[in-house]
Amino acid sequence: MTLSVDGLLAEATAKAQSDAFGDLWFLEPLNVLVDALNSEAQLSEMGAQLTERRLTALLVDRLRLRQLQAQHPEVLDVQVEVAAEICGLPRTGSTLLHRLLSASPQLTSTLSWECSYPLPFPGESPAAEIRKEKAKKMMDLFLELSPDFGDIHTVVWDGPEEDILLLDRTFTAMSFDSFYWLPTYGVWLRQYDQAPAYRELREWLQVLQWQDPTRAGKKWVLKSPHHLTAVSTTLDEFPDCKIVMTHRSPTSAVPSYASMVAAMTSQYSDKGDPKKIGPYWSERFQESLSQFAEVRSRRPERFVDIPFKSTVAQPLETVTALMADLGLEVTPADTKAFEDYLEVNRQEKHGSHSYTAEDFGLSAEQLEKDFSFYTEAYL
């Protein structure tokens, strides 16, 4: 099967019964993505079908977003405040920190089910029962197709999740070269001006906030390593937010992420080469961290550093100090919420996953050398 941008647009238009996409800026990233999927991803038959279905659904969501905004123009007036965007390399304690911080009654975050289905279905109640059930089934299918993933990264269908899943609808997201072997797309993405995508991220947050009155007055805490590819853009679009940078030695973080990518790509292709995955991500993260350092030097007051060891060894103390860095006073309700989440986290499944750097074409010695510019500055 060969994917076609024209075919995807036609299918989405038929499903949404609308062709009002608005600004067509997204066609450039979509074309780059589809070209790479056709030429590099080596999709299996099932992988191609799943991908076509996924891309069509993302386009349908774009159309449905424009429909909702036209029907409810007040959505565009919703004030979105972002307190923090948690970045850092993957596998650096950012997930624990994100879920812990999100427990604060003063903050809110994107939830897994609403990242998958951010717009209400016709006839659905505010409880979103249809979307929640579909998201739960989709999560079960994902773990069935990739059984090792749950041992690498704890996933919950109704818990905090990375906002990159909303950015997927812009076709400018690190998730694509994480789920597929797409080196040309990944290199292109890191040179592309993502400002239009981040403007749309704000629009998606407006929609989620508009749907849930309990979010009124709360600030967002977001999280994704993708934002390392657009740190300056993130700071420009959300002028009140701080970048919370989680730090861990790349000799651990890079092979760990390579193992996750290998598990994810196996859903879509049976021809993946783990020894290509490691060097690819090592190069991408070197590039992102170099750009991060340059942006940070110009706006140092917008950054907060959190060592991986602190998050793991002293999570309550770490999140309490972080709240102060974000200008938020920790209340007794916050402390109880943090303690409650830590108990939940202890009870969640944390499987073991064995691998070596060499499994993914890497070595600890080379990683230490390649990332010395970063470790000497922050570790």
CATH value at residue 149: 3.40.50.300
Question: What is the pLDDT, as a whole number, of residue 71?
Answer: 97
Answer yes or no: are the C-beta atoms of 177 and 183 closer than 8 Å: yes
The answer to whether residue 169 is domain-embedded is yes
3-state secondary structure of 111: strand
> What is the distance between the alpha carbons of residues 308 and 107, in angstroms, rounded to a whole number?
22
pLDDT at site 63: 98
Q: Is the pLDDT reported for residue 352 higher than 90?
A: no
Q: What percent of the chain has pLDDT over 90?
A: 88
C-alpha–C-alpha distance, residues 136 and 158, integer Å: 8
**pLDDT recorded at residue 13:** 98
Query: What is the pLDDT averaged over residues 49-61?
Result: 97
For residue 298, is pLDDT > 90?
yes
Q: Does residue 16 sit within a domain?
A: no
| CB crowding 214-236: b at 16 or more within 10 Å, else e | ebeebbbbbbbbbbbbbbbbbbe
Residue 213, pLDDT > 90, answer: yes
Averaged pLDDT for residues 322-348:
94
d(CA 39, CA 55): 17
Mean residue pLDDT of the chain comes to 94
Q: What are the backbone dihedrals phi and psi of residue 56, each rounded to the nearest 5 degrees, phi first?
A: -60, -45
Kindly state the average pLDDT of the residues 344-366.
84
Is residue 346 included in any domain, yes or no? yes
Secondary structure (3-state) at 33 = helix
Residue 230 lies in a domain: yes
Q: Give residue 29's identity as a one-letter amino acid code.
A: P
Residue 345 domain-assigned (yes or no):
yes
- Evaluate if residue 146 carries a pLDDT over 80: no
Any domain includes 30: no
Q: Does some domain include residue 55?
A: no
- The identity of residue 73, as a single letter, is P
Q: What is the pTM of this model?
A: 0.94
pLDDT one-digit tens code per residue, 85-143: 999 998 899 999 999 999 999 999 999 999 999 999 988 999 999 999 999 998 887 77
- Torsion of the alpha carbons at 186, 266, 115 and 254, rounded to the nearest 10: -50
Average pLDDT over residues 23-35: 98
Run of H or E residues at 221:
strand 219-223
Q: What is the pLDDT of residue 78?
A: 97
Q: With cut-offs at 50, 70 and 90, classify the pLDDT of residue 39.
A: very high
Q: What value does the mean pLDDT take over residues 39-47?
A: 97
Q: d(Cα 8, Cα 243) in Å, to the nearest integer? A: 36
pLDDT of res. 350: 55
Alpha helix segments (H runs only) across 148-230: 149-152, 164-167, 174-179, 183-189, 195-211
Domain that holds residue 295: 82-378
- For the record, the structure tokens of 372 come out as 């010395």
Q: Residue 152 pLDDT more than 70?
A: no
11 within some domain: no
Domain count, the chain: 1
Return the closest-CA partner of residue 246 out of 43, 95, 34, 69: 95
Is residue 153 over pLDDT 60? Answer: no
Residue 317 buriedness (CB in 10 A; 0-12 / 13-18 / 19+): exposed
Torsion, Cα 345 112 338 102, to 10 degrees, reads: 150
Q: What is the pLDDT, as a whole number, of residue 141?
A: 79
Confidence band, pLDDT 50/70/90 cuts, at residue 147: low
The pLDDT of residue 294 = 93
How many CB atoms sit inside 10 A of residue 92's CB?
A: 26
pLDDT of residue 261 exceeding 70, the answer is yes
Q: Say what the pLDDT of residue 321 is.
A: 98
pLDDT, position 156: 81
SS3 115: helix
pLDDT value of residue 345 = 87
Strand partners, 86: 223, 244
Query: What value does the mean pLDDT take over residues 205-232?
Result: 96
Residues 6+ apart with CB under 8 A from 309: none
Cβ 155 vs Cβ 215: under 8 Å: no
Q: Residue 143 has what pLDDT?
A: 72
